[in-house]
Amino acid sequence: MLGLIGKKVGMTQVFDANGRLTPVTVIKIEGNVVVAERTVESNGYEAAVLGSFDMKKNRVTKPYAGQFKDVCDPKKSLVEFRDFEQDVKKGDVLDVNLFKDISFVDVTGTSKGKGFQGGIKRFGHAGGRATHGSKFHRDLGGTAMCSTPSKVFKGHHMAGHMGVDKVTVQNLRVVRVDETLQVLMVKGAIPGPTSSTVIVKKAVKK
């Protein structure tokens, strides 16, 4: 599966050929180095390990730096891409050109944190009436049945922590691939705040 590590820059709009204004998310691709190769003989599966974003030297531990020995400087993000469709060798540097002939991608990121949230925001519960004597506003409501089963089933929708999840948005159209800026533009929004790390992969379902 073809893919790269990128950084979310933010959103803007571009005009397409028909004059339609398209909302796009800009993803910056800094040089992705092939740090290691996984092979069937040694690992039991095929994969390419890509690294991106330089690290401050004092933050690198010796065991972590060992992975990058003889390849490149230690990188902040390390991601394994299974069955990389392109022939790559250890030490190769991949750039945004990888997406030149690809029209749809999936983008994986970490969503923005929302803190502790109630059932309405977290799961879309309907909530109760605000006025006319109603005493049921944003509460949870019933959570279980009666003396049987006399317990709340696991995974019941309740208030709790929301956000900071791994989220994948599928089938985003690639609007433009800019070589000079090393930037990829996809139509629509992607998860996470700006300057967060995202993984861009060739769309699975297209």
Partner 1 sequence: MNIINAIEQEVVAKNEGKLSFSVGDTVKVYFKIVEGTTERIQAYEGLVIAINNSGIRTTFVVRKIAYGVGVERIFPVYSPRVEKVEVIRKGRVRRAKLYYIRKKLGKRAKVKELIRKKEVSTAEKTPVASN
Q: Which is nearer to partner 1, 11 or 60 (CB)?
A: 11
Other CB atoms within 10 Å distance of the CB of residue 199: 19
Part of the chain binding partner 1 (CB under 8 A), chosen from 8-16, 29-37, 46-54, 117-125? 8-16
Contact between 179 and partner 1 by CB under 8 A: the answer reads: no
Q: Which of 183, 188, 189, 203 lies at the binding interface for partner 1 (CB under 8 A)? A: 183
Q: Which is nearer to partner 1, 9 or 55 (CB)?
A: 9
Q: Which of 13, 61, 131, 147 lies at the binding interface for partner 1 (CB under 8 A)? A: 13
Q: Each residue of 95-107: b (16+ CB within 10 Å) or e? A: ebebbeebebbbb
Q: In sequence order, which residues have a C-beta less than 8 Å from that of residue 167 and are 6 or more positions away? A: 108, 109, 110, 111, 191, 192
Part of the chain binding partner 1 (CB under 8 A), chosen from 12-20, 30-38, 83-91, 103-111? 12-20
Q: Which is nearer to partner 1, 85 or 178 (CB)?
A: 178
Cα 141 from Cα 118, distance rounded (Å): 12
Contact between 173 and partner 1 by CB under 8 A: the answer reads: no
Q: What is residue 117's DSSP assignment?
A: E
Can you say whether the dihedral through the CA atoms of 92, 96, 99, 100 is positive or negative?
A: negative
Cα 200 from Cα 106, distance rounded (Å): 6
Binding-site ranges for partner 1 (CB under 8 A): 9-15, 17-19, 21, 26, 28, 178, 181, 183, 185
